[in-house]
Amino acid sequence: MGRKLLLEKIDVPGIRGYDVYRSNGGYDAVEKALKMSPDEVVEEVKKSGLRGRGGAGFPTGLKWSFLAKPAGVPRYLVCNADESEPGTFKDRYLMEFIPHLLIEGLIASSWALGCNHTYIYIRGEYAWIVEILENAIAEATAHGWLGTNIKGTGFDCRIHVQRGAGAYICGEETALIESLEGKRGNPRIKPPFPAVKGLWDCPTVVNNVETLAAIVPILNIGGEEFSKIGVGKSTGTKLISACGNIKRPGVYEIDMTITVEEFIYGEQYCGGIPNGKRLKACIPGGSSVPILPANLLLKTAKGETRMMTYEGLSDGGFATGSMMGSGGFIVLDEDQCVVRHTLTLARFYRHESCGQCSPCREGTGWMEKILHNIEHGKGKLSDIDLLWDIQRKIEGNTICPLGDAAAWPVAAAIRHFRDEFEWHVLHPEESQRRNYGLAHYADAREVTM
């Protein structure tokens, strides 16, 4: 299954508590960090090649280096634990079962960034995890890892947990900051970027749970050693939330040297598709990334094997590729209806749009209505082209990426499964059937651009 860095100790009995975590090497990374200068820690993260694990995949060390450091102005680190992307649950797994890993990563990162107050903004639905995190924070404080003058270094650091109110939009970093300040969670226009004017108009870094937890193994084994794991610019390990039509749903830690086919069918990973069904499609990075049919999922447009890496999943752009995204891997077998799944996603994004930008506010509702008509036997062939036109006018025309997140699934569904949309229109009375008998499989469909 490859090397594990984040989940290596996840099954140790009692690892949720401080004593067991500490006896298994916990907080060694903080000890190392406190003996280094903040700039040296940032440089180590740069060497690691760690990319943000929340979706965009931006280099973490580079992002940290952008943080403004005006004299006399506080800086803040915010942990984005608002894991609301459908199909994604890896951050929940880390926080629930090994919370001290995140706390340790936060302390080391706070030292590197010069932040004395750090916030965990957690999804409101994760109510039970709030208590787990607060207990871990209390334990870390009691043992001198948080508070004033940590381990005699003169460094002060406190971690605060703030629950969100169940808004997907608050996964966007500026909307999260607005919510953290007690305002409505509407994204801000950028620039200025949070690194210059973020929380309470002070320099702020926002990273997600997995990214900050990864700081611990980077410091323990060294950034250069971390960079040797994986392939190319996809360094280190990656947590994948696997669900859908697979035998072994769950959270997997991969080192990004395996193929998509190995991940889906390997017994040490998803274990294949139940009941002898064929693979139809997969959404490889959470609901907001483009869906791929089996023929493009198991190989690239060039006929090469598709790898479970940032570059491998995006090979060919959106015409024939997708994105690693948040690592929410959703598998669909041959009985699944792409139109129905696309409608479900469109309904979600319409509901979660903050309404600030008219292309997103109006377009998501329009797409949902058209998809509902197609799915329920009331569509027209011209509706397919209308859907394509609407998503095209949403993408790239909103303040935050929610508009793109709503547009991409619709675009990819039409691009790769247009015949299924047409089938719904032409067979309205049969459009509720689950098995459409269409050839969207790796062994029965040619690659089309």
The angle, 0 to 180 degrees and rounded to 10, between the axes of the packed helices 338-352 and 358-375 is 150
Residue from 225, 236, 216, 226 nearest 31 by CA? 216
Q: What is the CATH number of the domain that holds 27?
A: 3.40.50.11540
Which pLDDT score, from 0 to 100, does residue 433 have?
Answer: 55
Do residue 26 and residue 120 come from a single domain? yes
Q: Is residue 37, in this structure, part of any structural domain at all?
A: yes
User: Which residue, 308, 333, 358, sits at the end of a domain?
Assistant: 333
Which residues constitute the domain of residue 46?
18-228
109 within 8 A of 77, measured Cβ to Cβ = yes
Do residue 307 and residue 377 come from a single domain? no
Do residue 349 and residue 311 come from a single domain? no
Do residue 181 and residue 193 come from a single domain? yes
Reading the block at residue 385, the tokens are 């082209």
Tokens 């973490």, residue? 60
Give the CA angle between residues 109, 157, 141 to the nearest 5°: 110
| DSSP states along 383-408 | HHHHHHHHHHHHTT-SSSTHHHHHHH
Q: Distance between CA 52 and CA 298 in Å, rounded?
A: 25
Which pLDDT score, from 0 to 100, does residue 447 have?
Answer: 30
Q: Is residue 190, in this structure, part of any structural domain at all?
A: yes
Give the CA angle between residues 91, 94, 95 to the nearest 5°: 85
Which pLDDT score, from 0 to 100, does residue 439 have?
Answer: 43
Which pLDDT score, from 0 to 100, does residue 3 have?
Answer: 83
User: Which residue, 228, 259, 285, sits at the end of a domain?
Assistant: 228
Do residue 356 and residue 244 come from a single domain? no
Which pLDDT score, from 0 to 100, does residue 440 have?
Answer: 44
Number of domains composing the chain:
3
Residue from 395, 390, 387, 402 nearest 354 by CA? 402
| DSSP states along 428-439 | GGGTT-S-----
Residues in the chain: 449
Which pLDDT score, from 0 to 100, does residue 133 have?
Answer: 98
Do residue 63 and residue 151 come from a single domain? yes
Which pLDDT score, from 0 to 100, does residue 1 have?
Answer: 54
Q: Distance between CA 350 and CA 242 in Å, rounded?
A: 25
Q: What is the CATH number of the domain that holds 248?
A: 3.10.20.600
User: Which residue, 206, 228, 250, sits at the end of a domain?
Assistant: 228
Q: Is residue 7, in this structure, part of any structural domain at all?
A: no
- Which pTM was predicted? 0.92
Q: Count CB-CB contacts under 10 A for residue 214.
A: 28
Q: Is residue 12, in this structure, part of any structural domain at all?
A: no
Do residue 241 and residue 282 come from a single domain? yes
Q: Count CB-CB contacts under 10 A for residue 373.
A: 16
Q: What is the CATH number of the domain that holds 407?
A: 1.20.1440.230
Which pLDDT score, from 0 to 100, does residue 321 have?
Answer: 85
Do residue 117 and residue 250 come from a single domain? no
Do residue 165 and residue 261 come from a single domain? no
Q: Is residue 422, in this structure, part of any structural domain at all?
A: yes
Q: Is residue 188, in this structure, part of any structural domain at all?
A: yes
Do residue 47 and residue 188 come from a single domain? yes
Do residue 169 and residue 39 come from a single domain? yes
Spell out the per-residue pLDDT of the chain, length 449, in tens.
578 999 999 999 999 999 999 999 999 999 999 999 999 999 999 999 999 898 778 999 999 999 999 999 999 999 999 999 999 999 999 999 999 999 999 999 999 999 999 999 999 999 999 999 999 999 999 999 999 999 999 999 999 999 999 899 999 999 999 999 999 999 999 999 999 999 999 999 999 999 999 999 999 999 999 999 999 899 999 999 999 999 999 999 999 999 999 999 999 999 999 999 999 999 999 999 999 999 999 887 777 888 999 999 988 888 888 899 889 999 999 999 999 999 999 999 999 999 999 999 999 999 999 999 999 889 999 999 999 999 999 999 999 999 999 999 999 999 999 999 999 999 887 765 544 444 444 433 333 32
Do residue 77 and residue 193 come from a single domain? yes
Tokens 């740069």, residue? 46
Strand-pair category, 279-283 with 292-293: antiparallel
Q: Is residue 446, in this structure, part of any structural domain at all?
A: no
Say which residues have a Cβ less than 8 Å from residue 439's Cβ, sequence separation at least 6: 445
Q: Is residue 4, in this structure, part of any structural domain at all?
A: no
Residue from 253, 250, 218 nearest 237 by CA? 253
Say which residues have a Cβ less than 8 Å from residue 34's Cβ, sequence separation at least 6: 111, 150, 151, 153, 155
